[in-house]
Structures are given as C-alpha cells and as structure tokens.
Amino acid sequence: MAFITKTFYSQSDLVSHLKAHQPSFYFSSKTSTVIPYDKIETLLPWSNGDFFLCDLSKLPPKMELKSNGNLVLSGGVSWEDAKNFLKANGRNLKTSPTEQLALITAGVATSCTGERCFGFGNMRSQVVRLKYLDYNGVEKELLKDQEFASSSGHLKNYQQDFNFYKNFKNAPYPRFEKSIDLMIGTEGQLGIVSEVEIETVENYDVNYVFMLLPRWEENYEPHMEIFKAVQPHRDAIISCELLDSNCMNYLKPDEKLGQDQDVIFLEIKSSHFEDIYANVLCNFQHISADEVFEIAENKFHHVRAGVPRAIFEENSKMGVVKVGTDCQVCVDKFTDLLNFYRKAAQIGVRYCLFGHFGDAHLHYNYMPSKDQTQKCLDMFQDLYNQVYEWKGSPFAEHGIGLIKQKYIKKYHGEHQLGLFKDLKKEHDPHKQFFPQGFMSV
C-alpha cells in the first residue's frame, strides 16, 4: 500500500483518473482548516492497495462575467483571482473567506462562508449553477431552481430535520433541497466540482469601522449591545467581525489595535454610512464615540486575515493539529456560548477568540503544547455536547474534513446516515471519492 500524489493539468487527465475508479482524496490549495495536510497520511487510514492524493490546483483557470452579473469559473481560480477580475469589471464577490488564495471550486465543495455572510447570506445561496464530474468522468450540470432528486426513502425526513437549521450558515449536514446541493458541502464525496456560476454584486464603496471594547472575558455587555444593534441593518452592514485582545498578540506591533482591548469591525456600505453612524454608532450606551474609528480597507483585510494565519503557523511550530471551534448558535443562545468560552479560557492554555460576531458564529482557538492538547480536546467535547443541546451548528463554515468527524457523529441520526448511504451507493459505487469522509457509513 502506498500514498501516491497526482497533480492534474487538464480536465481530460482528471477524467482518465476518474474512469479508473481509484480511491482518492481531492484537494487544491491546502488551505483547509479541517485537513491537516502535514499529517494527512496518518489520518487517512487505508490498507487496501494504493491511495491517491489528487491535486487539482493546476487545472487551467477560466473566468467569464455574464451580462446578468453572474461569474462563471472553472479550474484553479482563487477567491483573490475572482475578486481582482470582478473589480476590473465593476463587480465584487458576495463571499469573502479569510484565506483568499483558496480555490472557489473547493469552497463550493465545502460550502465555505466568510466575513460577508452577515450582509449577503451563505455560499450555497449564491450558487446559481454548477457542473461536476461523476465517478465515470462524465460532466453533469445541476441548477439552483431544480429540486433535489433521490429515490432514497430517507430524503423527506432528512429534509424535515434540516428545516431547523435553514437559517444557519451551514447545518451539521448538507442541505439536499436543490439539485446543486449534491455538490455543495459534500466535500468531494459524491463527485468533483468542475464549473461554478455564482452571483456577484456591484462594487460599491465601503467604509470600514472598528470599535475598541473591554476584554470579553471580563465584560461582554458592550459586545452584545453591538450584536443587537446591527441585526436590523443587514442591508447596510456587510460584515460584523470580532478579534479579541488575545488575537493582537499574534500581530506585529504596528498592526495591533488598542491596548489589551477587543475589537469589533463593521463593513458598511458608504451609501448607508451616515445613517448607520447617526442611528447606530452614536447611540451606544456602553461605547463612547472616542472608541469608534475608521480604518483603511487594506489594513482591515490584512489584520483580519493575519490572525488565523498566525494561529496556523503557531500550531505548526508547536507540532500540533489545530484545536479550534467553528460553532454557530441561535441569537438567544449567544451569551450561553460566550459563557462557555469563558469557562474554556480558565484551563491554563493559551487561546484567542475571533470571527463572525454578527452571525453568533465564532472561532475559539487553543494554542496548546503537545501535552496540553488532550485537555483542550476534552473541553471541546463538552462544548459540542452543549451545542447539540442548544440545537446549534458545530461546524458552520469550514466543513468536517478529517479532524472533526468524531464530534459530528452525535448529530447524524437514522435519516442522515440512511441518506448518506443511499447517495454514496448511487453516486460513488466504487468508493473512490474520499472514502474516509463523513458520508461513508
């Protein structure tokens, strides 16, 4: 048995590989937070012949802007590539993941989200059409306005279960309501996304604001005041992001904001800025006007992206797999989540909290040494049990991959496991697509 890395430079080469029905894991930019690529061979248990690690990042990139403003893309197109292409044509993306070098086709496969979900909704709501390669290398097309089709007797109950999570960025399992859902969030377990058509928006001017706050561990009342104030303004406020005081320790001195303080950023449409400033920013009871500042767009993106990158580098330096959360809860459970993170902060391990504050969707990350890792994992097991009781989503943004599978099992009951089995049998009869994925039961 051997792990064989294969890089594809054309779709025809990929089709030939698919026709051979070889067990494979497909990846692109290696930016996934749920796939530890430096340890992947030890985490992909396989003892039945050769296993292929398939690199899709070199497939020829192609982009086309349609007259209706939709972007059609295929191959190795990153979020950064698409953003630059669109800006040259007066448009912009609705989704803005932290890692701009990741490929969009992979983002569709994992249903990744990002900062702009507050104003524009989740990734799956923006996909209009897509094409994929099936297990025989045949390219097929799926449309947003077509209903999901399956002969499985579990589909109806599965869809009823999903209804509770329909307002979350991502549920503990894929949506499976529209035909495009076969490929969105299924992490390459049913086929390979080859082309995507996504909605875009006019590239209007934006103002970036940040507010300095006390440490959330000591007092999160000002944070919650902001959280409640921004909810009615999703048409004007595109994103509402948090970096806590601990995050600043991972930035260079000239990049830090505040003095041992938390920071909440708002991305506001310039056409609405005066209204938001007068009716939101000037009306806080727990935040003074002296603690509200504008920030340049490039600095906002640099600081916001710098923290998760620094955490990744820190974990790599410590020789540990990332120990972090990706939980989203309902509005009425948000303070419960913050209170749990307060408890998690007391076990004597370095940590930081950041993420999509306006969506009640935060990333709590430990930076443990190797001997502290199990303590952190035990704490997160308690967290995921709580999120289950709160009816929240344990992994609302980056997918399940390999390192989160043990935590998701509790969320997958008879209808989920039954539908997964039926879909794998229909769309992956040779068990060639990521056979270690969460749908393999």
Confidence of residue 361 (pLDDT cuts 50, 70, 90): very high
pLDDT on residue 419: 98
From residue 86, give the alpha-carbon distance in Å to each of 200, 239, 428.
8, 20, 36
pLDDT on residue 302: 85
Tens digits of residue pLDDT in 29-52? 887 878 888 778 887 878 778 999
How confident is the prediction for the chain on average, in pLDDT? 93
Confidence of residue 319 (pLDDT cuts 50, 70, 90): confident
pLDDT on residue 42: 80
Cα Dmax for the chain: 66
Percent of the chain scoring above 70 in pLDDT:
99
Domains and CATH numbers, the chain: 3-55 (no CATH), 62-202+417-427 (3.30.465.10), 206-389 (3.40.462.40)
Write down the residue that tokens 């802007």 correspond to.
Answer: 65
